[in-house]
């Protein structure tokens, strides 16, 4: 079950965190994985890790905000079966403390970047006779998260985009779903704590972990396992759905 043998997958943001976990797992399950990253070095590092484990991977430097860059790269990659839109950035701020430049940057990466990749992927998915698109949303699109105005807005757009794509391409056997994680322990979290809570990293880590009713943060591997299911043939009856993976945050915190 959950074999991706003979499938080609593109994973954006595959150089670290959740994107890396997805790229590694997809390759382990037999897919040829193309890793798209703004940072070429991290993309290469993930690709090399996959190759060392016997998998097939290719690293590509790509700015998902630049549509021409994205389209040219997808045309070079060719026929696709899977697109995992994971690349994104975070931002801390309320509506009146979020500057215009920061708001625009979050929208560009987290919304336009997803659109650009879907725009470029659809023709390549058609060549394969269909396939799966998996977008990374967030529980921030489902519940109010303090100080996450721009991020929540962007992830809400990703969720709506997922529904629109699922509806528009269902007759072409192109499925589209999204995943909404709560807090996941990634290098980003460690960097955030180091930069904002120097000397109190462990205290804040424990505090953030306990905001999930299950008592801990998720792991990138757990998110990757759900992504694998949604992008596999076993999920061929699923489209237009969002899946919270949140340690009970959405349903049990009220």
Is 37 within the bounds of a domain? yes
Is 209 within the bounds of a domain? no
Is 2 within the bounds of a domain? no
Q: What is the pLDDT of residue 195?
A: 85
| pLDDT bucket at 76, cuts 50 / 70 / 90 | very high
Is 210 within the bounds of a domain? no
Cα–Cα dist 110/65, whole Å = 9
Q: Find the DSSP H helices in the chain.
A: 17-28, 40-52, 67-77, 100-107, 113-127, 149-169, 187-196, 201-209, 220-231, 249-252
Question: Residue 109 is part of a domain; what is its CATH number?
Answer: 3.40.50.720
Is 163 within the bounds of a domain? yes
- Pick the catalytic residue from 151, 169, 197, 243: 151
Average pLDDT value for the chain: 96
Q: What's the total number of domains in the chain? A: 1
Is 115 within the bounds of a domain? yes
Three-state SS at 88: coil
Q: What is the pLDDT of residue 132?
A: 98
Is 122 within the bounds of a domain? yes
Model confidence over 13-60: pLDDT tens digits? Answer: 999 999 999 999 999 999 999 999 999 999 999 999 999 999 999 999
Is 161 within the bounds of a domain? yes
- Phi first, then psi: give them for residue 66, nearest 5 degrees: -90, 105
Does the annotation mark 151 as catalytic? yes
Tokens of 136: 């990374």
Could you tell me the residue range of the domain that residue 22 belongs to?
A: 8-182+218-244
| pLDDT bucket at 254, cuts 50 / 70 / 90 | low
């Amino acid at each position: 079950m959950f074999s991706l043998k003979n499938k080609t997958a593109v994973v954006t943001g595959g150089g670290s965190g959740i994107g890396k976990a997805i790229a590694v797992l997809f390759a382990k399950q037999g897919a040829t994985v193309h890793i798209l990253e703004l940072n070429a070095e991290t993309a290469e590092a993930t690709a090399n890790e996959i190759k060392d484990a016997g998998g097939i991977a290719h690293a590509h430097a790509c700015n998902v905000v630049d549509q021409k860059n994205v389209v040219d790269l997808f045309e070079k990659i060719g026929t696709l079966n899977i697109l995992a839109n994971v690349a994104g950035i975070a931002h801390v701020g309320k509506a009146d403390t979020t500057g215009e430049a920061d708001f625009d940057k979050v929208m560009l990466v987290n919304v336009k970047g997803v659109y650009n990749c879907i725009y470029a992927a659809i023709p390549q998915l058609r060549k394969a006779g269909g396939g799966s698109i998996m977008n990374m949303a967030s529980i921030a699109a489902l519940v109010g998260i303090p100080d996450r105005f721009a991020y929540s807005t962007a992830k809400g757009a990703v969720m709506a985009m997922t529904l629109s794509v699922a509806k528009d391409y269902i007759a072409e056997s192109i499925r589209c779903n999204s995943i909404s994680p709560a807090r996941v322990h990634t290098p980003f979290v460690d960097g955030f704590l180091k930069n904002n809570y120097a000397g109190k990293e462990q205290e804040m880590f424990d505090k953030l972990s306990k905001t999930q009713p299950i008592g801990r943060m998720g792991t990138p591997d757990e998110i990757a396992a759900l992504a694998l299911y949604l992008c596999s043939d076993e999920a061929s009856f699923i489209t237009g759905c969002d899946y919270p993976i949140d340690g009970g945050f959405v349903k049990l915190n009220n």
